[in-house]
Amino acid sequence: MKNFPENFELESFFECEPEVLDKDIPWEYNELTFESESENGVLIVKMEMSSELMNIEWHQNNHIVLNLKLKGVYKLQVLNETKLDTLLLEFRNQDTDDLIIKIRPVISVSWGYNDQQY
């Protein structure tokens, strides 16, 4: 199972090239920062997948409306083979639902957590 998308898939999803910490290291082991604009704001995603860390900031009118500091992100997938329009994050913690991000036509974030014992 592959836990990191191809570089072109991330570039297609974010519609930009990332800021790369070390140009000599493959993206999946590097620190990447993507900044993508949409109708309803700017999404800045910083990822360090080798450390399973990700920071997501959504800005609207120079205000941060969402700031997620995520740990235990073990799988990253760009979905929809034709449009590459959905980013899916899977977590080590089984109580944590997948986080789903879309940028087009507007930024949207969907996530859940369930720690209930049945």
The rounded Cα 46 to chain-centroid distance in angstroms is 8
> How far does CA 63 lie from the centroid of its chain?
20
pLDDT digits (tens, 9 = 90+) for 50-98: 999 999 999 999 999 999 999 999 999 999 866 778 999 999 998 899 9
**2 assigned to some structural domain:** no
Q: What is the rounded CA–CA span in Å between residue 12 and residue 84?
A: 6
Number of domains in the chain: 1
pLDDT at 13 over 70: yes
Token couple for 18: 């990332």
Is 74 a member of any domain? yes
Return left, alpha or beta for 62; rule: phi > 0 is left, psi -120 to 50 is alpha, else beta: left
**Could you tell me if residue 118 is inside a domain?**
no
Give yes or no for a cis peptide into 105 (omega within 30° of 0): yes
